[in-house]
Chains A and B, each alone.
Chain A
Amino acid sequence: MNKILKLTLILFLVCAITAGVLGVVNEITYQRIEEQQRIKTERAYAAVLASDGYEEVPFDQEAFPTVDLINRCTNGAGYVVTTTFSGAQGSITMAVGVDNDYKCTGISIIKHSETSGLGANAASSSEKGVNWRAQFVGEDENVAITKMGGKIDALAGATITSRSVANATGVAIRAVESLG
């Protein structure tokens, strides 16, 4: 019994030291990680609808469960919506720019875990030399891929990703419309 106690103590000690070291590293990197995430979100916002500042506006969370938050552009250009929805592999987080005529001004994918080479192309800057996300500019709430009767060409081999991105864009525009 003494032996077991000793082993447990040693294991506990090792765990405690490791956890302590990790705590220190976390303390050091924490702010930078937050900062990086903020920069990434900011870049995504600027890419879809440029503004000198953004302020959060309340919306009906019940009606739009996939919408995380809606930001009004302080320069009056429109709104930027952050939305999280499920793609083909896991969840996708995306920023959607919506102008005052409820038209999409662009989309930008912040986080995803889609298949590299297929669905991941939705987030890459160019797929076979074409920016796939550019198709979304000017679309309204009825945006859909060609297979569903819309105008967006789906990514090759990634119909599910393309469809969920198109659907989420439509939902984001509708969420802005609901603000009135």
Chain B
Amino acid sequence: MNIKKQFTEGLITNNPVLVQLIGMCATMAITTTLFNGVGMGLSVLIILTCCNVVVSAIRKIIPNEIRLAIFVVIIAGFVTIVDLLLQAYIPALSDALGVFIPLIVVNCIIIGRAEAFCQKNTVGASFFDGIFQGLGYTLVLIVMCVFRELLGSGRFGGGLIDIVNGFRFTLDGTGSGIQIFPEDFGASILTLPFGGFITLGLLIAIMQYALKKSAKKKEAAAKAEKEAEEVC
């Protein structure tokens, strides 16, 4: 398993949200501003990487019968650590994400990767798997946020970017973002639950379309090759 392959798998061909279709609750719930999306994505990335490393490190000494219980305890531990750190150092993010931070415990991405990947692979491979799967998750969150925020309220980078006092990144969630078009013209329905479902539906549809197309292309290429061989 090389790193490059893991990279494309995590980000595109085996993307946790768009292809494995897991961890969707938070994806739909919190993607209303870029601040939330980036914060949630990075939190999951950190927790996933830590859990992956720990699980793969102790994979040989944990008894098979209680492995799921142990995974859950380890995950809950890391989630609580991140939760406490966020409360202490980025309280605005902790407020914005609310109950969805502790709920990372039951996010299927983390227990899914522990069960499907880290049990069978080395610490190094699991580390990169955590990073790339986490990046894939963050990427989807960012795309959803940008789409919903832009069309919903005509803004980009709400909470994260401040242009009132010169261009800068705000880590306390106070930045008002860049107003692309007046808020009154935005379809504010997109920032509501309805928008979450529709946006994710569209994204997965686009992904399926792209994957199918590339599969067809490969098939056609293989067919052409075969025909060429036959001609010879």
Contact = CB atoms under 8 A, between A and B. Distances in A.
Task: Consider the complex of A and B and state whether they touch directly, i.e. have CB atoms less than 8 Å apart.
Answer: yes
B66 A10 contact: yes
A26 B77 CA distance: 12
Contacts of A25: 80-81, 84-85
Contacts of B174: 125
Nearest to A115: B192
B214 interface: no
A129 B45 CA distance: 35
B2 to A, nearest CB: 32
Interface in A1-33: 6-7, 10-11, 14-15, 18, 21-22, 25-26, 29, 32-33
A112 B176 CA distance: 20
A36 B84 CA distance: 12
Interface residues of B, number: 31
B87 A117 contact: no
Contact of A10 (B63, B89, B98): B63
Q: Say what secondary structure dominates the interface of chain A.
A: helix
Interface string A110-122: 0101011110000
B73 interface: yes
Interface in A135-157: none
B84 A128 contact: no
Nearest to B90: A36
B91 interface: yes
Contact of B95 (A29, A32, A111): A111
B73 A22 contact: no
Interface string B70-82: 1001101100110
Interface stretch (B102-110, B183-191, B200-208, B224-232): B183-191
Contact of A36 (B76, B88, B183): B88
Nearest to B191: A117
Contact of A18 (B74, B84, B91, B95): B74
B32 A11 contact: no
A162 B181 CA distance: 27
B191 A14 contact: no
Contacts of A6: 63
A105 B80 CA distance: 39
Interface in B166-220: 174, 176, 183-184, 188, 191-192
A11 B77 contact: no
B88 A116 contact: no
Interface of A: 6-7, 10-11, 14-15, 18, 21-22, 25-26, 29, 32-33, 36-37, 40, 111, 113, 115-118, 125-126, 128-129
Kindly list the 6 A-B residue pairs having the minimum CB-CB distance in the complex, ordered from nearest: A117-B191, A18-B77, A32-B88, A29-B88, A29-B84, A36-B91
